[in-house]
Chain A
Amino acid sequence: MVVPLLFIVVYIVAKGAPALTWEFFTENPRRGGIEGGIWPALVGTVYLILISLCISAPIGVLAAVYIEEYAKENWFTRIVNLAVVNLAGVPSIVHGLFGLGAFVYGMQFGKSILAASLTLAIMTLPVIIASTKEALAAVPRSFREACWNVGATRWQTIWHIVLPNSISGILTGVILQVSRTAGETAPVMLTGVATWAIGGDGLFLYNLREQCMSLSMHLFYIRTQASGAKEELSYAIAATLLGVVLLVNASAIVFRIYLRSRKKW
């Protein structure tokens, strides 16, 4: 697995190297994207990742805690579990279409960062629930029973014992979804990402109700729609996208090592 990964990374970075300049990252695209940089797309991608995770991570983790720690085993929880598993397998374009209907038109958010982030959140939610459930289930039941026996409430048990001992597994699941969120094109294309949305001035560029650009969409656009773009440009975008994903994953790994070192059994 290391060889293809290295090959992909080296190939893309090498092909894109001539275009990877400081200006490439910090400037707006010009002349339909064939010149200039990718700043708005970079910012847009970060927006989508952060906002969608802020929605899906807390909801997903709490949902998993409820299913795993509180809910009784009955037909209802079985249906919920089945739904979670199946929702995780729904193709992203279908989520996109759902987002278009539910958020863009249904809730009248219009094509916007908000609608796109919500769509991405819905898409990542089942995977976060599933991975969190697994992490919680890995904490031995005897720990919980020991806590209950000394008169701790369910929540005290979860807060002091179960969560601290499953947090590294939970975070792994959450952070893996970052790379998925970063790379998705189809669902955001339908719900809030435009080929051309430079945004306003200042550091934040966009507000929630505006459309934005994203790296994946920009790559798709440069490669298929903009004639005359130099080849290294698209490779440079791909390299940036890879960089964002690898950066997030690397920080996740570092964080996990830190948590593991504090793990107590």
Chain B
Amino acid sequence: MAPRKKIEVEGLRLRYGGKEVLHGISFDVHENEILGVIGPAQSGKTSLLRCLNRTIEFTPGTQVVGKVVVDGQDVRRITDIYGLRRKIGMVAPLPVGLPLSIYDNVAFAPRAAGNRDKTWLDGHVEKCLRQAALWDEVKDRLDSLGTKLSGGQQQRLTIARALSHEPEILCLDEFSIAIDPVTTMRIEDVLKELKRAMTIILVTNLVQQARRLAARTMFLWNGEIVELDRTEVVFSDSPGDRRTYEYVNGIFG
């Protein structure tokens, strides 16, 4: 049985001013899979994620051609853009604790969506913080500032916030570059858990992380997909493209 397609990207081109950073890429993301995206810096990984939830539009001078389809809907035809963004949780490379209390950080998105019921929010905040493996550390100081947490805790707070609007897709953009290996492993366990409920796109420059978590891995290089295949194939001795082998084994360039 073919897996259901959660995201379909077709011929996606992205230009910043005169410079093209994505050269017409096409791929699908299946429901409830973890798709690893690997590739060197400047290969367009972050830009790709920003095309999915259309936050790319906040950057002046960008031009998007091609189609991004989420749940069968072309994102550029979607009128409820805020609903689209709530459907996609985003975790940025550097943790961003909003200058609010821990509680308000997590309650921000539901409140922005108009959900102000105190009892529901209390339960929801706890649920999200538990999902992000942060609850036990912060349950006694939910009123203290999110920005005062340590880097690893803030990154988990960011994940809790990304989960707070109950997304169906979770995009993680190099979430582990600012945190220690132990916390990274804890979050990886969290992701394995979350996979049952959502579709995850894991952008990472730790190739081994993709190997550990992803069912399929995409190698993006200079705005083009070099290879997209099952992770075992990408990390095998004979992937479809020579460059994949070289990149994965650290002999690239």
Residues of A within 8 A of B (CB): 72-73, 142-153, 156, 160-161, 164-165, 263-265
Contacts and interface: CB of A to CB of B under 8 A. Distances in A.
B206 interface: no
Interface string B127-154: 0000000000000000001010000000
Contacts of B86: 150-151
Interface of B: 53, 55, 58, 60-61, 82-86, 89-90, 92, 94, 96, 98-100, 108-109, 112-113, 145, 147, 158, 161-162, 164-165
A159 to B, nearest CB: 10
Given A161-B98, A161-B99, A165-B99, A146 B112 contact: no
Contacts of A147: 98, 108, 112
Q: Which 3 A-B pairs have the closest CB atoms?
A: A264-B99, A150-B109, A151-B86
Contacts of A152: 82, 108-109, 112
A145 B55 contact: yes
A146 B96 contact: yes
A156 B112 contact: yes
Among B86, B89, B98, find the residue whose CB has the most chain A CB atoms closer than 10 A: B98
B106 to A, nearest CB: 10
Nearest to A73: B60
15 contacts: A72-B60, A142-B92, A142-B96, A143-B99, A145-B55, A146-B92, A149-B85, A149-B162, A150-B109, A150-B164, A151-B112, A151-B165, A161-B100, A164-B99, A264-B145
A143 B61 CA distance: 21
B108 A150 contact: yes
Contacts, number: 75
Contacts of B145: 264-265
Given A150-B109, A151-B83, A143 B98 contact: yes
A111 B51 CA distance: 57
Nearest to A140: B96
Contacts of B147: 264-265
Contacts of A153: 82, 112
A72 B164 CA distance: 31
Contacts of B83: 151
A161 B98 CA distance: 8
A151 B85 contact: yes
B158 A146 contact: yes
A150 B99 contact: no
Contacts of A265: 99, 145, 147
Nearest to B101: A264
A72 to B, nearest CB: 6
A160 B108 CA distance: 9
Contacts of B96: 142-143, 145-146
B242 to A, nearest CB: 36
B99 A148 contact: no
Contacts of A146: 92, 96, 98, 158, 161
Contacts of B92: 142, 145-146, 149
A150 B165 CA distance: 7
A76 to B, nearest CB: 13
B46 to A, nearest CB: 11
A265 B100 CA distance: 9
Nearest to B145: A264
Contacts of B158: 146
A149 B90 contact: yes
Contacts of A72: 60
Contact of B161 (A145, A150, A156, A165): A150
